[in-house]
């Protein structure tokens, strides 16, 4: 029994401390693998608005001449009723589908984690107000400025919003190893537009990205069989895990056991 005491105490000290769970951006728990079925209410342009863009993709072939920018809306695993969605279901998202259309009606969607480090790096470089860390304040059920584009550095909020959408499309559709809007399988024709310039700066920064800040971002996709597919992300601010009371008790017991064992060995 005396020989087992230090082993037991050490095991207690090595017991992992529980980590606290982060807030949900959507009214659903999206599994780490697989998907969850729900309903998405597309609510139009998010803060920042849209800008006219003209893009083309070679494989599969598609020309798009319209608006680019950030959307806003709601997602839930239970049926949504338009114009009465609670504020805590609100989130912002971008299009990853040039081949189908958005709809204002509540539509069945599936939500899942999406693994794409380049897109995570884009969010880390360019998405505004990331330290807000959430699309809504769960305590007050009110919207936050997380992801809300604003005027700055001589560019408008609409240009930043459109630039982010162009960057998302480039990273999603480009088949080459390098990324810019002037070459490759995906291109944007408005080469003099500010949104194009901003996007190319971000894309160049992604291709030379170093560090691990992007690991704080989790990307999600929302897929429909009849309408546009979308991309959203959340920022998880790095925190030091606070041990739970039970973990503290185990740690204390392990420390006490080691101290008792040392006293016994010294007394021999």
DSSP secondary structure letters along 80-119: --TT---GGGEEEEEE--SSS---SSEEEEEEEE---HHH
Q: pLDDT over 90 for what percent of the chain? A: 56
Mean pLDDT of 184-197: 91
Element holding 5 (H helix, E strand): helix 4-13
Strand partners of residue 218: 234
- Return the pLDDT at 76: 84
Q: Whole-structure pTM over 0.75, yes or no?
A: yes
- Return the pLDDT at 84: 54
Element holding 52 (H helix, E strand): strand 36-58
User: 8 or 217: whose pLDDT is higher?
Assistant: 217
User: In Å, how far from its chain's centre is CA 98?
Assistant: 21
Mean pLDDT of 78-107: 80
- Return the pLDDT at 18: 33
Residue closest to 122 by CA, chosen among 53, 225, 210, 206: 206
Render pLDDT for 137-179 as a digit per residue (tens, 0 to 9): 766 777 889 999 999 999 999 999 999 999 999 999 999 999 9
- Return the pLDDT at 200: 97
Q: pLDDT over 70 for what percent of the chain? A: 74
By mean pLDDT, which of 3-12, 75-84, 104-113, 229-238 is the weakest?
Answer: 3-12
- Return the pLDDT at 48: 83
Categorise residue 10: left if φ over 0, alpha if ψ from -120 to 50, beta otherwise: alpha
CA gap 53, 183 in Å, rounded: 16
Q: Would you say residue 6 has pLDDT above 80?
A: no
Give the chain's length.
268
């Amino acid at each position: 029994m005396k020989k087992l005491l230090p082993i037991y105490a050490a095991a207690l000290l090595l017991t992992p401390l529980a980590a606290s769970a982060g807030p949900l951006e959507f009214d659903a728990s999206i599994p780490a693998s697989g998907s969850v079925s729900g309903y998405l209410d597309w609510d139009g342009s998010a803060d920042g608005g849209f800008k006219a863009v003209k893009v083309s993709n070679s494989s599969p072939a598609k020309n798009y001449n319209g608006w680019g920018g950030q959307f806003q809306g709601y997602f839930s695993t239970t049926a949504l009723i338009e114009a009465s969605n609670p504020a805590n279901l609100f989130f912002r998202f971008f299009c990853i589908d040039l081949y189908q259309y958005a709809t204002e009606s509540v539509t069945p969607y599936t939500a899942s984690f999406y693994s794409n480090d380049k897109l995570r790096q884009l969010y880390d470089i360019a998405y505004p107000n990331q330290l807000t860390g959430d699309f809504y304040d769960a305590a007050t059920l009110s919207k936050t400025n997380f992801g809300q584009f604003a005027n700055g550095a001589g560019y408008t909020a609409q240009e930043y919003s459109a630039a982010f959408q162009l960057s998302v499309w480039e990273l999603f559709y480009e088949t080459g190893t390098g990324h810019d809007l002037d070459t490759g399988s995906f291109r944007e024709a408005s080469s003099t537009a500010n949104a194009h310039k901003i996007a190319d700066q971000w894309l160049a920064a992604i291709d030379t990205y170093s560090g691990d800040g992007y690991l704080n971002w989790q990307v999600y996709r929302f897929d429909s069989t009849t309408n546009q597919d979308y991309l959203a992300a959340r920022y998880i601010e790095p925190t030091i895990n606070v041990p739970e009371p039970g973990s503290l008790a185990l740690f204390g017991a392990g420390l006490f056991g080691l101290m008792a064992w040392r006293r016994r060995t010294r007394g021999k």
